[in-house]
Structure 1
Amino acid sequence: MSESGDSDASWIFYKDRPDWSDVTPIPEDDGPAPVVVIAHSEKFEDVYDYFRAILKTNEKSERALLLTKDAVEFNPANYTVWQYRRDLLQALGTDLKTELEYVEAVIKQSPKNYQVWHHRRVLIEWLQDPSLELEVTGDALQQDPKNYHAWQHRQWAIKTFGLFDKEMDFVDTLINEDVRNNSAWNQRYFVMNNHLGWSDYNVQKEICYALEKIKFVKNNESAWNYLRGVLLHDKRGISGNAVVTSFCEELYKNKCRSPYLLAFIIDICEENLKKGETSCIYNSERAIDLCQALATKYDKIRSKYWNYFSEKIKALQNIKTVEQNNMEE
């Protein structure tokens, strides 16, 4: 986008425009001995030389507003340009609905640019009208379902204006399209945490949802992480939910060796150990064995971590043994 005007034969440099003859451009000052000089096109330099000039004089005019549009065209990530454009919009009383249309066009060209999303957020705050935000962010996420800035803006709009009603359907669609879409799983947690709440019914419902998705793709880190997050709201803990433990054991019995399954079983063992519940299959010995399996076969890239975790389990077991002996004495 930054050099898109270079092929436009109709372009007239600002220095050659009669209506700008009263402005003295200010060249970029990189200091007496710049280490790395960034190469810019002649058009880029022309636009920004004049932008620095109006910024210095704090000119508030329609021509200044048009100049910021050219400046954005060459560098849509320039914070100062966007901030000055907002100052101009307020000073000139510009139609903000038209500005929203302009920003939407910029987003389509530069969807991962934080500054343009921030500009849109400010406009929505001024207008107090979020009616287009789900559609605009939805279009951006259709192009890239993991666009962080689009998700951030969407969450802000939903939470600020209470637009939760259809969000779970939107999330379901994304997860069904790509069950590994971590951003969609995060959005599901966002809706639960900020709207639907964690009643026992909702907790069990979300556990079942996660288990169904894991059954479909067992080596899916996103679903396993979501399951962990949901279980934080289960008063029985990660080790006390019989539906979850039975599901894990069934997978393990059927030769599933997903590192996420093994790590989950280790977590169950650790929680049981902390509770002092050792008279079951979730004990320190099993946790250590699984750490060894992960370190040597199923998750070798993180072997140091699993060796460390194994030592952590051993240390915890020693502490529990000492505590038990003291109680018996």
Structure 2
Amino acid sequence: MSDSGDSDVAWTYYKDRPEWSDVTPVPEDEGPNLVVVIAHSDKFVDVYDYFRAVLQNNERSERALHLTKDAVELNPANYTVWQYRRDLLKALGTDLRSELEYVELVIKNSPKNYQVWHHRRVLVEWLQDPTQEMELTGDALMQDPKNYHAWQHRQWAIKTFGLYEKEMDFVDNLISDDVRNNSAWNQRYFVVNNHLGWSDLNVQREICYTLEKIKFIKNNESAWNYLRGVLIHDKRGLTGNAVVTSFCEELYKNKCRSPYLLAFIIDICDEAVKKGEVNLLHSATRAVALCQALAGKYDKIRSKYWNYMCEKFKKAAEQEEIDREAANNIDDE
């Protein structure tokens, strides 16, 4: 769907159609001082000149509705065309089921167009019938698992009409196909957060699920971010969940130096310092060493950030050293 209509062999310009002879086309007014002139095709100019005319006259007719379809074909992202089409659908009492079929075809040709997805949403709201939305968005996401507009529409339909039942299976299949699919991880969080809830059982289940995925690919930012999101809902925090801390330390012990693992251990150290629960593994001193390793070797692209964090932890590490010396002096006495 683009400005390429001059190749249409059977196309008849609106200006040559007898049934449109009563309409005076309205040319585009681009102002007196043009900087860049867009080279539209003759077909584009013809269609939009007549579209502006019917819009100006606020014409409510079947021919105007058909005209909007031609205008959409040439520019499916034109908000004004879609809004006028919705006004016509209401005024003419058009069969909305047939409109759903039409919009599905437009989506298949222009799957990342916000305006067509918005039009679809309005139709579903009018009909109060979401029965086709899971399949439609599922098909779109099979073509492109990271299609933001499809995910947005799917989340809206699920939340509005309570369509959560099979969503975790759908998400799990996507993650199994591509464990780095950040959109699928986000959808998993959406389902738990809005439907299943963060009971302790669900929190621990999600932790175990995520750790298994990290075992599979340790350098997977999506899974590490999800783990952080889940642990927000664990009342024990990062330092208090022995399953997570033991998992991280085991990876580190086995020479894993994923920047996401090191960053996660730094977060554990940071929480331990703030809680006053410093130990041999989790301290500001260790955080300093990890920040230096990230800045100098494992995450050089963000070296400035890690150097900044290093300076922050150095102050806490100095205090740890003072406290350690004080404790040793007490023991000596």
TM-score (structure 1 length as normaliser): 0.96
Superposition pairs for residues 93-132 of structure 1, below 5 Å? 93-132=93-132
Is 1:177 matched up with 2:172? Answer: no
Q: Deviations over 1:226-282 (max 9, x none)?
A: 000000000000111000001001100110000000000000000000011123310
Question: For the Cα contact (< 8 Å) 1:108–1:140, is it kept in 2?
Answer: yes
Cross-structure match for 1:221: 221
Q: In 2, distance between residues paired with 1:191 and 1:139?
A: 19
Deviation string, structure 1 residues 6-51 (Cα, Å, up to 9, x no partner): 3211000011111111111111111001111211111001100000
Describe the superposition over 1:279-313 as per-residue Cα deviations: whole angstroms up to 9, x where unpaired: 33100011010000000100000000101111222
User: 1:294 touches 1:300 (CA, 8 Å); kept in 2?
Assistant: yes
Unaligned stretches of 5+ in structure 1? none
CA distance in 2, matches of 1:29, 1:322: 75
- Structure 1 match to 2:330: none
**8 Å Cα contact 2:284/2:320 also seen in 1:** no
CA shift in 2, pair 1:232/1:259, >3 Å: same
Partner Cα distance (1:64, 1:289) in 2: 69
- Is the CA contact (8 Å cut-off) linking 2:168 and 2:188 kept in structure 1? yes
Instruction: Give the match for residue 280 of structure 2.
Output: 280
Q: Tell me: CA distance 1:321–1:28, structure 2 relative to 1, closer, same or farther (3 Å).
A: farther
| Secondary structure of 1:163 counterpart | coil
Change in Cα spacing, 1:275 to 1:321, as seen in structure 2 (3 Å) is farther
Identity %: 78
* Equivalent residue runs for 1:1-329 within 5 Å: 1-317=1-317
User: For the Cα contact (< 8 Å) 2:248–2:265, is it kept in 1?
Assistant: yes
Q: Which runs of 5+ in 2 are unaligned?
A: 326-333
How far did 1:117 drift? Answer: 0.2
Q: Is the 8 A contact 1:273 1:317 kept in 2?
A: no
- Compute the RMSD of aligned alpha carbons: 1.6
**Distance between the aligned counterparts of 2:30 and 2:216, measured in 1?**
57
Which has the larger displacement, 155-164 or 36-45? 36-45
Counterpart CA distance in 2 for 1:322 and 1:210 is: 39
With structure 2 as the length reference, what TM-score do the two structures score?
Answer: 0.95
CA contact (8 A) 1:175 1:185 kept: yes
Q: In the alignment, is the contact (CA less than 8 A) between 1:276 and 1:320 conserved in 2?
A: no
C-alpha contact (below 8 Å) 2:272/2:283 kept by paired residues: yes
Q: Distance in 2 between matches of 1:100 and 1:309?
A: 53
The letter of the residue matching 1:95 is D
* Aligned-partner SS, 2:238: coil
Counterpart contact for 1:25–1:49, Cα < 8 Å: yes
